[in-house]
Amino acid sequence: MEYRFLQSEQVRLISSRARDWLVGLQKRVDNNANCTIRNAFQILVGLWICERALLDDKEFSYTKSQVQNVNQCTASHTDLFTDLLHADPPLVLLSTGILRFFNVQNIHLELFAEKISQLLQEHTDQNEGEANELFINRFLLHRLHLHSPLPSYSIREMPACDLIQADDTITRSLITDIAAATQYGQITLSTGKKFVQALHSILPILMVHYFRIYNLELGMGLLRCMHYLDLCKNRSFYTGLNFLITQQQLEGRFGFLAQEISQLPISREQFEPDLNIYLPHTVSFLWTIAEITNPQFILANSF
Protein backbone atom coordinates (compact mmCIF):
# COMPACT_ATOMS: atom_id res chain seq x y z
CA MET A 1 0.00 0.00 0.00
CA GLU A 2 1.17 3.51 -0.80
CA TYR A 3 1.21 6.06 2.01
CA ARG A 4 1.68 9.79 1.90
CA PHE A 5 4.05 11.83 4.09
CA LEU A 6 5.42 8.87 6.07
CA GLN A 7 7.49 5.86 5.06
CA SER A 8 5.52 2.59 4.76
CA GLU A 9 7.76 1.10 7.43
CA GLN A 10 6.93 3.94 9.81
CA VAL A 11 3.20 3.52 9.24
CA ARG A 12 3.45 -0.23 9.80
CA LEU A 13 5.44 0.20 12.99
CA ILE A 14 3.06 2.84 14.38
CA SER A 15 -0.05 0.84 13.60
CA SER A 16 1.17 -2.59 14.62
CA ARG A 17 2.29 -1.19 17.97
CA ALA A 18 -1.08 0.52 18.42
CA ARG A 19 -2.93 -2.65 17.44
CA ASP A 20 -0.89 -4.74 19.88
CA TRP A 21 -1.77 -2.31 22.66
CA LEU A 22 -5.47 -2.34 21.73
CA VAL A 23 -5.46 -6.16 21.64
CA GLY A 24 -3.87 -6.20 25.09
CA LEU A 25 -6.55 -3.83 26.29
CA GLN A 26 -9.24 -5.96 24.64
CA LYS A 27 -8.12 -8.89 26.79
CA ARG A 28 -7.86 -6.84 29.96
CA VAL A 29 -11.29 -5.24 29.73
CA ASP A 30 -13.19 -8.53 29.78
CA ASN A 31 -12.83 -8.68 33.55
CA ASN A 32 -12.72 -4.96 34.24
CA ALA A 33 -15.68 -3.41 36.02
CA ASN A 34 -14.64 0.09 34.87
CA CYS A 35 -14.92 -0.87 31.21
CA THR A 36 -17.95 0.72 29.59
CA ILE A 37 -19.74 0.05 26.36
CA ARG A 38 -18.05 3.20 25.07
CA ASN A 39 -14.64 1.59 25.62
CA ALA A 40 -15.76 -1.46 23.64
CA PHE A 41 -16.72 0.78 20.70
CA GLN A 42 -13.47 2.73 20.97
CA ILE A 43 -11.40 -0.45 20.84
CA LEU A 44 -13.46 -1.60 17.86
CA VAL A 45 -12.84 1.67 15.98
CA GLY A 46 -9.14 1.65 16.85
CA LEU A 47 -8.66 -1.90 15.57
CA TRP A 48 -10.75 -1.10 12.50
CA ILE A 49 -8.53 1.86 11.59
CA CYS A 50 -5.39 -0.25 12.07
CA GLU A 51 -6.57 -3.15 9.97
CA ARG A 52 -8.62 -1.28 7.38
CA ALA A 53 -6.49 1.78 6.69
CA LEU A 54 -3.00 1.27 8.01
CA LEU A 55 -2.04 -2.40 7.97
CA ASP A 56 -4.32 -3.33 5.07
CA ASP A 57 -5.03 -6.61 6.85
CA LYS A 58 -7.69 -8.34 4.77
CA GLU A 59 -8.31 -10.91 7.51
CA PHE A 60 -9.48 -8.28 10.03
CA SER A 61 -8.77 -10.89 12.73
CA TYR A 62 -8.74 -8.55 15.72
CA THR A 63 -11.53 -6.30 14.50
CA LYS A 64 -13.75 -9.36 13.98
CA SER A 65 -12.97 -10.56 17.47
CA GLN A 66 -13.96 -7.15 18.83
CA VAL A 67 -17.20 -7.29 16.83
CA GLN A 68 -18.08 -10.38 18.90
CA ASN A 69 -17.17 -8.53 22.09
CA VAL A 70 -19.43 -5.63 21.13
CA ASN A 71 -22.29 -8.05 20.45
CA GLN A 72 -21.86 -9.65 23.87
CA CYS A 73 -21.55 -6.29 25.52
CA THR A 74 -24.76 -4.92 24.01
CA ALA A 75 -26.64 -8.10 24.91
CA SER A 76 -25.71 -7.81 28.57
CA HIS A 77 -26.84 -4.22 29.16
CA THR A 78 -30.23 -3.63 30.70
CA ASP A 79 -30.81 0.04 29.88
CA LEU A 80 -28.99 -0.07 26.60
CA PHE A 81 -30.50 2.98 24.89
CA THR A 82 -29.33 5.32 27.66
CA ASP A 83 -25.92 3.65 27.69
CA LEU A 84 -25.61 4.10 23.96
CA LEU A 85 -26.57 7.75 24.20
CA HIS A 86 -23.91 8.22 26.86
CA ALA A 87 -21.42 6.32 24.73
CA ASP A 88 -21.51 9.12 22.17
CA PRO A 89 -23.92 8.64 19.22
CA PRO A 90 -21.36 9.13 16.41
CA LEU A 91 -19.21 6.40 17.96
CA VAL A 92 -22.22 4.07 18.11
CA LEU A 93 -23.23 4.86 14.52
CA LEU A 94 -19.70 4.32 13.27
CA SER A 95 -19.57 1.00 15.14
CA THR A 96 -22.92 0.02 13.62
CA GLY A 97 -21.41 0.63 10.20
CA ILE A 98 -18.34 -1.44 11.03
CA LEU A 99 -20.54 -4.31 12.23
CA ARG A 100 -22.55 -4.10 9.01
CA PHE A 101 -19.28 -4.32 7.03
CA PHE A 102 -18.88 -7.77 8.58
CA ASN A 103 -22.53 -8.60 7.83
CA VAL A 104 -23.42 -8.39 11.49
CA GLN A 105 -26.75 -6.73 12.18
CA ASN A 106 -26.82 -5.96 15.87
CA ILE A 107 -30.48 -5.41 16.60
CA HIS A 108 -29.80 -3.02 19.50
CA LEU A 109 -27.47 -0.83 17.51
CA GLU A 110 -29.73 -0.88 14.47
CA LEU A 111 -32.69 0.21 16.59
CA PHE A 112 -30.61 2.93 18.17
CA ALA A 113 -29.55 4.21 14.73
CA GLU A 114 -33.16 4.23 13.54
CA LYS A 115 -34.24 6.11 16.65
CA ILE A 116 -31.52 8.74 16.19
CA SER A 117 -32.45 9.03 12.54
CA GLN A 118 -36.09 9.61 13.45
CA LEU A 119 -35.19 12.20 16.09
CA LEU A 120 -32.97 14.11 13.70
CA GLN A 121 -35.54 14.11 10.93
CA GLU A 122 -38.11 15.60 13.29
CA HIS A 123 -35.61 18.14 14.55
CA THR A 124 -35.11 21.60 13.06
CA ASP A 125 -31.64 23.00 13.62
CA GLN A 126 -31.74 26.28 15.50
CA ASN A 127 -28.71 27.75 13.80
CA GLU A 128 -25.60 27.05 11.71
CA GLY A 129 -23.66 26.01 14.79
CA GLU A 130 -26.16 23.36 15.78
CA ALA A 131 -26.38 22.11 12.20
CA ASN A 132 -22.59 21.70 12.13
CA GLU A 133 -22.58 19.98 15.53
CA LEU A 134 -25.08 17.43 14.26
CA PHE A 135 -23.39 17.01 10.88
CA ILE A 136 -21.36 13.96 11.88
CA ASN A 137 -24.50 12.12 13.02
CA ARG A 138 -26.32 12.91 9.80
CA PHE A 139 -23.28 11.99 7.71
CA LEU A 140 -23.00 8.58 9.39
CA LEU A 141 -26.75 7.99 9.18
CA HIS A 142 -26.64 8.77 5.48
CA ARG A 143 -23.88 6.18 5.09
CA LEU A 144 -26.15 3.73 6.96
CA HIS A 145 -29.00 4.56 4.51
CA LEU A 146 -30.98 6.13 7.32
CA HIS A 147 -30.82 9.75 6.18
CA SER A 148 -31.45 11.66 3.00
CA PRO A 149 -28.48 13.19 1.14
CA LEU A 150 -26.85 16.00 3.07
CA PRO A 151 -27.12 19.67 2.15
CA SER A 152 -24.01 21.81 1.96
CA TYR A 153 -22.76 23.17 5.28
CA SER A 154 -21.21 26.55 5.85
CA ILE A 155 -18.52 27.71 8.20
CA ARG A 156 -19.02 30.53 10.72
CA GLU A 157 -16.69 33.31 9.66
CA MET A 158 -14.79 35.54 12.07
CA PRO A 159 -12.16 38.28 11.73
CA ALA A 160 -8.52 37.18 11.63
CA CYS A 161 -7.76 38.91 14.94
CA ASP A 162 -10.47 36.81 16.66
CA LEU A 163 -9.38 33.64 14.92
CA ILE A 164 -5.80 33.95 16.17
CA GLN A 165 -7.12 34.34 19.74
CA ALA A 166 -9.61 31.44 19.46
CA ASP A 167 -10.05 29.70 22.82
CA ASP A 168 -10.58 25.95 23.22
CA THR A 169 -14.34 26.19 22.70
CA ILE A 170 -14.06 28.24 19.53
CA THR A 171 -11.28 25.99 18.25
CA ARG A 172 -13.44 22.93 18.86
CA SER A 173 -16.31 24.55 16.92
CA LEU A 174 -13.93 25.50 14.14
CA ILE A 175 -12.80 21.87 13.80
CA THR A 176 -16.44 20.74 13.65
CA ASP A 177 -17.29 23.45 11.11
CA ILE A 178 -14.41 22.60 8.80
CA ALA A 179 -15.22 18.88 8.90
CA ALA A 180 -18.87 19.67 8.05
CA ALA A 181 -18.20 22.32 5.42
CA THR A 182 -15.67 20.15 3.57
CA GLN A 183 -17.43 16.84 4.36
CA TYR A 184 -14.11 15.49 5.63
CA GLY A 185 -12.14 16.99 2.77
CA GLN A 186 -14.38 15.66 0.03
CA ILE A 187 -15.55 19.08 -1.12
CA THR A 188 -13.81 22.42 -1.39
CA LEU A 189 -14.66 25.02 1.19
CA SER A 190 -17.02 27.60 -0.29
CA THR A 191 -16.73 30.69 1.85
CA GLY A 192 -15.44 34.25 1.53
CA LYS A 193 -11.97 34.50 -0.04
CA LYS A 194 -10.68 36.62 2.81
CA PHE A 195 -11.74 34.12 5.46
CA VAL A 196 -10.25 31.24 3.50
CA GLN A 197 -6.96 33.16 3.38
CA ALA A 198 -7.18 33.81 7.12
CA LEU A 199 -7.82 30.10 7.77
CA HIS A 200 -4.87 29.11 5.61
CA SER A 201 -2.57 31.43 7.55
CA ILE A 202 -3.90 30.95 11.07
CA LEU A 203 -4.99 27.31 11.26
CA PRO A 204 -1.38 26.04 11.06
CA ILE A 205 -0.42 28.45 13.85
CA LEU A 206 -3.26 27.23 16.08
CA MET A 207 -2.22 23.64 15.43
CA VAL A 208 1.40 24.34 16.41
CA HIS A 209 0.15 26.24 19.46
CA TYR A 210 -1.96 23.32 20.71
CA PHE A 211 0.89 20.87 20.26
CA ARG A 212 3.22 23.28 22.10
CA ILE A 213 0.90 23.29 25.10
CA TYR A 214 0.44 19.52 24.74
CA ASN A 215 -3.27 19.66 24.00
CA LEU A 216 -3.04 16.67 21.71
CA GLU A 217 -6.77 16.38 21.09
CA LEU A 218 -7.14 19.87 19.61
CA GLY A 219 -3.76 19.67 17.88
CA MET A 220 -4.82 16.48 16.10
CA GLY A 221 -8.22 17.95 15.23
CA LEU A 222 -6.52 20.94 13.62
CA LEU A 223 -4.03 18.73 11.80
CA ARG A 224 -6.94 16.77 10.28
CA CYS A 225 -8.58 20.08 9.32
CA MET A 226 -5.39 21.13 7.53
CA HIS A 227 -5.67 17.87 5.60
CA TYR A 228 -9.36 18.56 4.79
CA LEU A 229 -8.42 22.04 3.56
CA ASP A 230 -5.56 20.63 1.49
CA LEU A 231 -2.92 22.50 3.48
CA CYS A 232 -0.58 19.54 3.44
CA LYS A 233 2.17 21.48 1.68
CA ASN A 234 2.38 23.95 4.55
CA ARG A 235 5.59 23.39 6.55
CA SER A 236 3.56 23.40 9.76
CA PHE A 237 1.75 20.31 8.55
CA TYR A 238 4.98 18.28 8.48
CA THR A 239 6.08 19.79 11.76
CA GLY A 240 2.79 18.75 13.37
CA LEU A 241 2.86 15.28 11.85
CA ASN A 242 6.46 14.65 12.91
CA PHE A 243 5.69 15.85 16.40
CA LEU A 244 2.61 13.64 16.54
CA ILE A 245 4.33 10.39 15.65
CA THR A 246 6.95 10.93 18.32
CA GLN A 247 4.18 10.99 20.94
CA GLN A 248 3.42 7.26 20.66
CA GLN A 249 4.71 5.22 23.57
CA LEU A 250 6.73 2.08 22.87
CA GLU A 251 3.87 -0.22 23.83
CA GLY A 252 1.60 1.50 21.28
CA ARG A 253 -0.66 3.79 23.30
CA PHE A 254 -0.55 7.42 22.43
CA GLY A 255 0.54 10.41 24.50
CA PHE A 256 2.82 11.00 27.49
CA LEU A 257 0.07 12.05 29.82
CA ALA A 258 1.18 11.00 33.31
CA GLN A 259 1.34 14.64 34.41
CA GLU A 260 -2.27 15.36 33.41
CA ILE A 261 -3.46 12.08 34.91
CA SER A 262 -1.77 12.80 38.25
CA GLN A 263 -3.65 16.09 38.47
CA LEU A 264 -7.13 14.58 37.95
CA PRO A 265 -9.22 14.72 41.12
CA ILE A 266 -10.57 11.19 40.66
CA SER A 267 -9.76 8.01 42.58
CA ARG A 268 -8.17 5.07 40.82
CA GLU A 269 -11.21 2.90 41.70
CA GLN A 270 -13.43 4.93 39.39
CA PHE A 271 -10.80 5.66 36.86
CA GLU A 272 -8.55 3.65 34.61
CA PRO A 273 -6.00 5.82 32.71
CA ASP A 274 -5.68 3.36 29.84
CA LEU A 275 -9.43 3.27 29.27
CA ASN A 276 -10.35 6.85 30.09
CA ILE A 277 -7.37 8.77 28.77
CA TYR A 278 -5.08 6.72 26.58
CA LEU A 279 -7.76 4.83 24.64
CA PRO A 280 -9.58 7.89 23.22
CA HIS A 281 -6.25 9.58 22.50
CA THR A 282 -4.94 6.50 20.73
CA VAL A 283 -8.07 6.18 18.59
CA SER A 284 -7.88 9.85 17.68
CA PHE A 285 -4.18 9.43 16.86
CA LEU A 286 -4.89 6.46 14.59
CA TRP A 287 -7.75 8.37 12.95
CA THR A 288 -5.43 11.30 12.22
CA ILE A 289 -2.54 9.20 10.93
CA ALA A 290 -4.89 7.06 8.79
CA GLU A 291 -6.68 9.95 7.11
CA ILE A 292 -3.47 11.84 6.50
CA THR A 293 -1.36 8.99 5.17
CA ASN A 294 -3.96 6.89 3.34
CA PRO A 295 -5.49 8.98 0.54
CA GLN A 296 -8.44 6.58 0.16
CA PHE A 297 -9.45 6.60 3.80
CA ILE A 298 -12.06 8.78 5.49
CA LEU A 299 -13.08 7.27 8.80
CA ALA A 300 -16.75 8.29 8.65
CA ASN A 301 -16.94 6.90 5.12
CA SER A 302 -14.95 3.75 5.67
CA PHE A 303 -17.56 1.03 6.16
- Shortest distance in whole angstroms from residue 189 CB to other proteins: 16
Closest of 272, 247, 293, 271 to residue 18, by C-alpha: 247
Binds other proteins (CB under 8 A): choice among 142, 172, 209, 281: 209
Binds other proteins (CB under 8 A): choice among 63, 132, 171, 236: 236
Q: Return d(Cα 300, Cα 287) in angstroms, integer.
A: 10
- Shortest distance in whole angstroms from residue 175 CB to other proteins: 17
Q: Does 198 bind other proteins (CB under 8 A)?
A: yes
Binds other proteins (CB under 8 A): choice among 197, 251, 258, 295: 197
User: Given the complex with other proteins, which of 13 and 160 has the nearer CB atom?
Assistant: 160
Kindly write out the interface string for residues 237-266 of this chain, putting x where it contacts other proteins by CB under 8 A and - elsewhere: --xx-xx-----------------------
3-state secondary structure of 254: strand
Q: Does 222 bind other proteins (CB under 8 A)?
A: no
Quickly count: other Cβ atoms within 10 Å of residue 142's Cβ: 16
Piece of 33-41, 70-78, 159-167, 268-276 that binds other proteins (CB under 8 A): 159-167
- Shortest distance in whole angstroms from residue 206 CB to other proteins: 8
Binds other proteins (CB under 8 A): choice among 78, 124, 148, 161: 161
Binds other proteins (CB under 8 A): choice among 27, 193, 233, 235: 235
In the chain, DSSP finds a helix count (H) and a strand count (E) of 15, 0
User: Given the complex with other proteins, which of 46 and 204 has the nearer CB atom?
Assistant: 204
User: Are 98 and 63 in contact, with CB atoms under 8 Å apart?
Assistant: yes
User: Are 25 and 43 in contact, with CB atoms under 8 Å apart?
Assistant: yes
Q: Does 202 bind other proteins (CB under 8 A)?
A: yes
- Shortest distance in whole angstroms from residue 186 CB to other proteins: 26
In degrees and rounded to multiples of 5, residue 248 shows phi and psi of -85, 130
Closest of 187, 118, 182 to residue 155, by C-alpha: 182
User: Per-residue b/e over 152-190, b at no fewer than 16 CB within 10 Å?
Assistant: ebebbeeeeeebeebeeeebebbbbbbbbbbbbbeeebe
- Shortest distance in whole angstroms from residue 42 CB to other proteins: 27
Ranges within 163-192 binding other proteins (CB under 8 A): 164-165
- Shortest distance in whole angstroms from residue 283 CB to other proteins: 23
Note the Cα 110 to chain centre separation in Å.
21
Q: Return d(Cα 280, Cα 254) in angstroms, integer.
A: 9
In degrees and rounded to multiples of 5, residue 126 shows phi and psi of -75, -35
Residues found near other proteins in the complex (CB under 8 A): 160-161, 164-165, 197-198, 201-202, 204-206, 208-209, 211-212, 235-236, 239-240, 242-243
